[in-house]
Structure 1
């Protein structure tokens, strides 16, 4: 399956900067690298794929980064070197810096690696101006439909969006797929499982096996507390994160909670959304709100795979889904929320977007009370204000999201 990210990687190939692809485990980074290798060969580029599972190659490059040259074919143009899991090197930052400084005109590196590598401050300092980082999230809804081979529904969705008067005979099918997408999320291995029980089993494997690898890699000392915190965050998505309250609940130091939240962010399990404010005297404090980067993993953590309409937490789930949709379009640090001391709140604000926007999320259209948000509109008339709702689900749904 071709991911949207593949086009971004293709476009970045001619750039001098090295390309760094990051994201949570099992989102498809290795598969993307193979797709890029295929593309390079089709375009007649000199391309080399290095698999660091081969210990002899790894040892050779650890001994001397310039040994890389021995693996490259003779070429009139630039050599493209694709490296999966670059963190297996003893000093990946030094390796990338040396190759860039000496051979950037001749070699283009595209590398994936674990989040522990990107947590290293040396990576940011030493490779400043030498790399561009791309973050691969779990599949978008369009990618979900493509992976399932439902090209007819993808085409119908596109027709609905392009024609504001369009009515669809497939709207029920689209709603069914959207509901499944919200419940089970966008991990490729989960999407392709046809049996519901197997989908849940896959998500539990992600929760237990792959998240545990992140925990070990990050040096987390108390695995049980980490999971407790993770479940608390999943259960209260969209709520303010009060570190002191969480530390009291979990009976650990606030520094431990802060560290574990940082680990969850670095491994692309959660994102902390900061408040948007211009008047420090009127708008509330700087506590962030938390969202998970995949709703399937979120539902696994709270152990709830009920249908959307049956859920007691459908409002929180829909708000988290809106965060995921926005995260597919904007950088994490561009997403804000607005909240004042007297209780006024707007779920998402994008003050730095090309067209600054604010979005208030409601599960049901009947819950919308426009006058409640007049204070925000008066304070920021330059920001386009709109609502996002789930019910009633019709063709307009796909024109709003």
Structure 2
């Protein structure tokens, strides 16, 4: 049984557009699987396709020149229009200029490309393909995708699983918080095999994606940084502290975190501040995109300590909000004052200001930070994200909405 990805329908719909379809994301997050599924469905519709993987020498050589590729496509695609898939496209030198030339020739081909080294691919194509592409980001399997797969698609939503199989929901939530969502990790049942897979994913990232960006002798520094960043997950980043811990310059730390962000290992969120007096305005906070990668960085992959569940649940809440707002243009921020009042997430979008606290424990306590936020931002809607449905008259009276994670 395959894992159904929510982003698939968006990508397949875009196939009808002239724009280049660009699929990026971390290594082994499911990009190639999605591309091949798109190709299979096009073939079922009697459409002609070509699939090139630039990891294969013969395929790579076809892109020696635009003329060589065009001649190959003319010989292979006999109908009036065809679909050209190119995997690992970041390996092509001058990728953006090459593809811009192909696009501007107005050829009878639709190009669908993907790349794991996202920073490299985006930098090679950003200016050259301005107005000629649409980017789709494929993350590892989301919590909802994981739950639906693990319940064999008997349900249509997280809420249905909560309503009909609450015990299963608890087991699955703990499993996701233990292993994360890389597709091969999800579909593998054996614990030892899961570890070997996540190890291979991290090693592949370091020796392929990272090595394309930094010198080989610097890989040890990057590995050290990744391990230290695991302890900063959901916390503010102090570059000087990281510099002391890892033993490299603060500017190099900033560069490496940028690499990790652009290759979709971590994500920085910035502080929210419109009234700057007493508010943190510069220090970013950091979250790992996949909990399995986070566990690996901490040396805890396959182990779920009870005292860490709240810490991991907050990461899940951020990921749900991140994917919900990814294509809306909305930013997810955090809010903190110099006297340590902190709101986990703030989303200011289309004249609606939402503040969120995340609470994993059964008892919901201490909303002082939310009240403090509303005193400064009168129109803010206050929310508490929880594990389960809670009815509390006090919070209703105070106009604070309690939102279970499965209703986000």
TM over 0.5: yes
Whether 1:193 and 2:188 are equivalent positions in the alignment is yes
Q: Which moved more, 1:54-63 or 1:195-204?
A: 54-63
Whether 1:259 and 2:255 are equivalent positions in the alignment is yes
Q: Per-residue deviation at 1:92?
A: 1.4
Of 122, 134, 137 in structure 2, the residue corresponding to residue 135 of structure 1 is 137
Look up the match of 1:312. 307
Look up the match of 2:79. 75
Distance of aligned partners of 1:144 and 1:353 in 2 relative to their CA distance in 1, 3 Å threshold: farther
Whether 1:205 and 2:200 are equivalent positions in the alignment is yes
1:221-240 alignment, distance < 5 Å? 221-240=217-236
Unaligned runs of 5+ in 1: 162-166
Look up the match of 1:280. 276
SS at match of 1:364: coil
Deviations 1:66-116 (A, max 9, x none): 63253242334x422111111232321112111111126x32211001325
Of 369, 375, 380 in structure 2, the residue corresponding to residue 378 of structure 1 is 375
Look up the match of 2:395. none
Q: Per-residue deviation at 1:185?
A: 0.4
Look up the match of 1:178. 173
8 Å CA contact retained: 2:159, 2:407: no
Q: Output the TM-score relative to the length of structure 1.
A: 0.88
Aligned-partner Cα distance in 2 for 1:85–1:354: 40
Q: Per-residue deviation at 1:264?
A: 0.8
SS at match of 1:264: helix
Of 94, 99, 102 in structure 2, the residue corresponding to residue 96 of structure 1 is 99
8 Å CA contact retained: 1:390, 1:397: yes
Q: Per-residue deviation at 1:58?
A: 2.5
Deviations 1:338-357 (A, max 9, x none): 11222221111111268542
Whether 1:364 and 2:361 are equivalent positions in the alignment is yes
Of 218, 242, 245 in structure 1, the residue corresponding to residue 241 of structure 2 is 245
Look up the match of 1:338. 335
Distance of aligned partners of 1:354 and 1:29 in 2 relative to their CA distance in 1, 3 Å threshold: farther
Whether 1:295 and 2:291 are equivalent positions in the alignment is yes
Of 84, 93, 96 in structure 1, the residue corresponding to residue 87 of structure 2 is 84
8 Å CA contact retained: 1:349, 1:358: yes
Aligned-partner Cα distance in 1 for 2:119–2:239: 26
Aligned-partner Cα distance in 2 for 1:238–1:188: 24
Aligned-partner Cα distance in 2 for 1:354–1:338: 18
Aligned-partner Cα distance in 1 for 2:157–2:123: 46
Aligned length: 390
Q: Per-residue deviation at 1:204?
A: 2.3
Q: Per-residue deviation at 1:136?
A: 0.3
Distance of aligned partners of 1:65 and 1:201 in 2 relative to their CA distance in 1, 3 Å threshold: same
SS at match of 1:312: helix
8 Å CA contact retained: 1:65, 1:95: no
Distance of aligned partners of 1:14 and 1:356 in 2 relative to their CA distance in 1, 3 Å threshold: farther
Q: Per-residue deviation at 1:59?
A: 2.1
Q: Per-residue deviation at 1:139?
A: 0.4
8 Å CA contact retained: 1:118, 1:124: no
Q: Which moved more, 1:194-203 or 1:375-384?
A: 375-384
8 Å CA contact retained: 2:95, 2:124: no
